[in-house]
Structure 1
């Protein structure tokens, strides 16, 4: 089932205990993307970046510096040596207000669908974050919708400040969030951070609908078509998984879909924290109108929250807890894993990034099975 990984890519992975469960640290499995599982949570697609530096002050503020936040020398325009750097430089040169200014850039680690960059511009009082589309991402990302969602998130006060959308390049540009860091799974064991993130999600979910509606059913169908077209890898029990997916889909559709703007990508690394423990949401590439129960289910699954934590979050979000709400979230947890496992098999076929999409997808398939095989699966189907 798929290509075997070279032995050189495999390393022993320790087992850690946190939040009453054993979780694999998958750094060695998933390559050099600094993916990790901490505090009991698998963080598969996260941007695992170190804390960002505090905003510069004094004589260097607003001026181009020779070395970047990581201490390495930044490149300037004209020094590109690969296609990714050339893509970035072309996008930077398209910004009219920057003509004639000195510009320097360096990569920001962590992206597995795109390349991310820190860009500093002579005379600017902030650095900028450029998100440059990766090869093949147009198969499942609508860049205009992503930009629309980023703007809506910024309007709630929970999003990153949007600087520009370079439509010809599909590149989103934000003010660089100095002093903020990507959250970790461990952060979400703290109640105030957990519920603060929930309030940020709800603020975005409560915005007016986006132009694009794309439910989890649409996403799974899209990825299934793509896997077939690419002759991609399917699990041996694909027929059984598809049958259970159809049963869950019918149960959820029978009682109606609660459409709302959704991130659809709620892993820990897409929640930023500052020293005051404030929350900002980033990365709306997969955003669309979707069922808000799916939004919560995906987030709960990414975080590995305990049942008690989930019940408290459900009550905070909806104002009450019902058997139907629990059932819909449980079913959507399985669908979320099926969606991302199938997405991973598409990426396994087309991506040029150094990330083991096959193992990530196999892990997601395995977790979907664990939910479907739960003794309450039939009960959730009835109550949804």
Structure 2
């Protein structure tokens, strides 16, 4: 598979002639990614898949977020944005996904924490929001509209998102800020000397603790790792309130992933078991809420 000819022509107009043919890059479910050389530029061409806007992806927000992250030196440089082709072109960086074991320890964990805080506090406002309770409602409505009947646990998950959002609402640390919102292992690259955060397609204005919880649960963090993450992020020891908020946002991340899997069953044409994906996250969510400390986290997270 190769990028459409119109995309190649448009990139050539901006960066120079195609010097090495595009090579498909693995990974990713919602986009097609290719490495290519145009003139002196070694690049990644990212072409959006069909109907990704139904997943809440805003390509203009992705562009703004990626450029902002690049200016903060936490993401590769943006070389071209082609909205007519739903295509973003970035500098290729010779990094690979950071293994979980390395991600949870120095020097990588503090580097990722500081990169996230820099983005949260210094990136410009993004032209879309990332509100998990609203996303949950939208995903469930779209799934039903497209003929998929969500499991009862999916509705329970949406209600839980509302409960968590209510618990933390009003605290200044939960004011909306620019967020990445998809901190899978594949989106954290290391080259041996530094880390890069890539794939900003779900970026939006949201709760910084969602990023922290999403990073934690997607990469197998322990409770000790969570406290280390909070300490690195805030540059001071973790408090009980912050720890509780992060644990709740781990659950919020599973809400979003479970319902993302539900809506993908309705709209995706990929050969991927989205039902099993959704069930996995609903099962993990059930285990989290069954923890006898969960109600205490709701109380602690609401404490100023």
Q: Normalising by structure 1, what TM-score?
A: 0.72
Select which of 184, 194, 200 maps to 1:284.
Answer: 200
Unaligned regions of 5+ residues in structure 1, if any? Answer: 1-83
Q: Secondary structure of the residue that 2:214 maps to in structure 1?
A: helix
**322-331 or 358-367: which moved more?**
322-331
The alpha carbon displacement at 1:233 in A equals: 4.2
1:192 and 2:107 aligned: yes
Are 1:246 and 2:162 matched, yes or no?
yes
Residues 11-65 of structure 1 deviation map (CA, whole Å, 9 limit, x = unaligned): xxxxxxxxxxxxxxxxxxxxxxxxxxxxxxxxxxxxxxxxxxxxxxxxxxxxxxx
Classify the secondary structure of the residue corresponding to 1:226.
helix
Residue 358 and residue 118 in structure 1: after superposition, are their counterparts in 2 closer, same or farther (change >3 A)?
Answer: same
- Greater radius of gyration (CA): 1
Aligned-pair distance for 1:247? 2.3
Q: Per the alignment, in what secondary structure is the counterpart of residue 119 of structure 1?
A: strand
1:29-178 matches, within 5 Å, as 85=2, 88-95=4-11, 96-97=13-14, 104-121=21-38, 124-139=39-54, 140-177=56-93
- Check conservation: 1:244, 1:372, Cα contact below 8 A: no
Question: What's the offset of the Cα at 1:267?
Answer: 1.0
Measured in 2, the distance between the counterparts of 1:100 and 1:125 equals 9
Q: Please give the per-residue CA displacement for 1:183-238, whole angstroms capped at 9, x wherever unaligned.
A: 22232143211221111111211223223232222322221222222222422434
What is the RMSD of the two structures over their aligned residues, measured on CA atoms?
2.0
Instruction: Report the secondary structure of 2:186's partner residue.
Output: helix
CA distance in 1, matches of 2:35, 2:82: 16
Name the CA shift for 1:320/1:94 in 2 (closer, same or farther; >3 Å).
same
Cα shift readout 1:89-115 (whole Å, capped 9, x = no counterpart):
221112324676555112101121111
Q: Distance in 1 between matches of 2:240 and 2:17?
A: 62
- Which residue is 1:47 aligned to? none
Query: Any residues of structure 2 matched to 1:333-372 within 5 Å, and which?
Result: 333-372=250-289
More helix by share: 2
The corresponding residue for 2:216 is 300
Pick aligned residue for 2:143 from 215, 227, 242 = 227
CA contact (8 A) 2:76 2:90 kept: yes
| Cα separation, partners in 2 of 1:324 and 1:132, compared to 1, 3 Å | same
1:222-279 deviation line (CA, Å, top 9, x unaligned): 2122222222242243444344333223212254632111000011111111132x11
Query: 1:361 and 1:297 mapped to 2: Cα distance?
Result: 18
Tell me whether 1:203 sits opposite 2:118 in the alignment: yes
1:321-354 deviation per Cα after TM superposition (whole angstroms, max 9, x unaligned)? 2222122222221111011110111112222233
Consecutive unaligned residues of structure 2, counting only runs of 5 or more, are none
